[in-house]
Amino acid sequence: MINFEAELTAYAEAVKSFRAEYDLPAEWFAGPDHVAIKCAGSSDYEATLALWLPKAAQAQYVELNGRRLASARLLEPITVGGLGRADWLEVMEPRPEKVGIDPVGVDHMEFVFTDFAAAERVLRAKGIPYEAQQNPGHEWLSILADGHEFKLTNKSLADVIAAEFASGAAKALK
């Protein structure tokens, strides 16, 4: 099991430092939408869910790319250093081909900021590498901050989950 608090503190410090170093717009970081944890494999995913489900008001999962992604709306928000509080937690099982390869622990945090054109102009002007990505539920810009990933996303996790339930893709855990 990971030391969640220690990893989250290190993550928040890395993102705050990166933001200050590159003088990134404050509106990008108006409040974290959610924190995501990547598990080592299926048994770690199950153990991590067992740890967080009692702390959740609701929880669900989808299967995507050969793995399960669970989302939990927490009873008590997670405080992420000076970045704010996140009401949602995502628990990710690794893709089957990535078991034992991907880093495990606090994987990323997402911030809702929908003006990707403006964000891309800022990132290019400052020479910050990023990757535009998408899945059926939403789009995001993935940025590495001192080895820690944060994402600007066009939809909140709550909106993605609502769409997944509407399509029949999401299954309730709680």
Cβ atoms of residues 124 and 20 within 8 Å: no
For the chain of 174 residues, list the mean pLDDT of each consecutive stretch of 10.
84 92 94 94 95 97 93 96 92 83 86 96 97 91 90 96 94 92
At 65 the pLDDT is 85
What's the total number of domains in the chain?
1
Q: Could you tell me the two tokens for 115? A: 């003006």
Q: Report how far residue 66's alpha carbon sits from residue 167's, in angstroms, rounded to the nearest whole number.
A: 18
173 phi-psi bin (left φ>0, alpha ψ -120 to 50, beta other) = alpha
Distances from the Cα of 46 to the Cα of 11, 55, 60, 71, 173, angstroms: 23, 15, 13, 13, 12
Q: Give the range of the structural domain holding residue 161, as residue numbers without chain letter.
A: 4-172
Contacts (Cβ under 8 Å, ≥6 apart) of 10: 106, 148
Helices assigned H by DSSP within the chain: 4-21, 42-52, 116-125, 157-167
At 1 the pLDDT is 57
At 21 the pLDDT is 96
Q: Report how far residue 96's alpha carbon sits from residue 15's, in angstroms, rounded to the nearest whole number.
A: 29
Task: Kindly report the backbone phi and psi dihedral angles of residue 134, in degrees, each rounded to the nearest multiple of 5, phi listed first.
Answer: -160, 160
Q: Report how far residue 110's alpha carbon sits from residue 97's, in angstroms, rounded to the nearest whole number.
A: 24
At 174 the pLDDT is 80
Q: What is the CATH number of the domain that holds 35?
A: 3.10.180.10
The single-letter DSSP state of residue 168 is T
44-54: per-residue pLDDT in tens?
999 999 999 99
At 162 the pLDDT is 95
Q: Is residue 76 classed exposed, middle or buried when 0-12, 13-18 and 19+ CB atoms within 10 A define those classes?
A: exposed
pTM attached to this predicted model: 0.92
Tell me which residue has tokens 């000076």.
82
